Amino acid sequence: MTRTERGNIAPSEKKMPDNPISIRSARKDEVDLLNKLAFQSKAHWGYDSVFMEQCIEALAVDPDAVRLEWVFVAENEHGKELGFAAILPLDDGHSYELSHLFVTEESMGKGIGRVLFREAIKRVSALGGSTIEILSDPGARPFYEKLGAIYIEDSPSDAIEGRSLPLLEYSF
């Protein structure tokens, strides 16, 4: 792995997709599709229907974030959506939240998440940011740590009262 100037591990070139993919800003007419993709991706981790029902609001894509081009989609050469991610600015002026990063079940383990994370870094950097905060599903924590994110603490879930989630940070 390579190191960035500030000492964090840069997302490596390992596990990159075999087929060409492109990244584009999400369109307002695909919010429902992205919500469904997020729900199905989250369900992959084996959560029961009661848990999943409690997550619906937190998984929903904000149409304003789509309008502001903070949501972006990975698609294959045929235009099929493989996953998406979203960044939201935080109040300090240099930090952004990675509010969503979900890939289709068929795309898991194929490098699509890594490509989306790299795109998030690129977009945050272009906006003058230098830090990405991630309130992660426990199952996704190792993924973010492999990309160089640092575990900060357990933080309250924004979806389920009494549940804690790992909060990670990626600085560049």
- Lowest-pLDDT choice from 7-21, 48-62, 98-112: 7-21
Give tens-digit pLDDT for 117-150.
Answer: 999 999 999 999 999 999 999 999 999 999 999 9
| DSSP structural state of residue 93 | S
pLDDT of residue 8: 47
Residues 84 and 113 sit within 8 Å (Cβ to Cβ): no
Asked if pLDDT for residue 13 goes beyond 50, the answer is no
Asked if pLDDT for residue 77 goes beyond 90, the answer is yes
pTM: 0.89
Contacts of 64 (CB under 8 A, 6+ apart): none
Can you tell me the distance from the alpha carbon of 70 to that of 31, in angstroms, rounded to the nearest whole number? Answer: 13
Give tens-digit pLDDT for 107-117.
Answer: 999 999 999 99
Looking at the chain, how many residues does it have?
172
Domain 21-171 class, CATH top level: alpha beta
* Enclosing H/E stretch for 35: helix 31-43
Average pLDDT in the chain: 92
pLDDT of residue 19: 77
* Helical H segments across 44-97, by residue range: 49-59, 63-67
Query: Exposure pattern of 63-102 as b/e (b: 16+ CB <10 Å)?
Result: eebbeeebbbbbbeeeeebbbbbbbbbeeeeebbbbbbbb
pLDDT of residue 15: 55
pLDDT of residue 148: 98
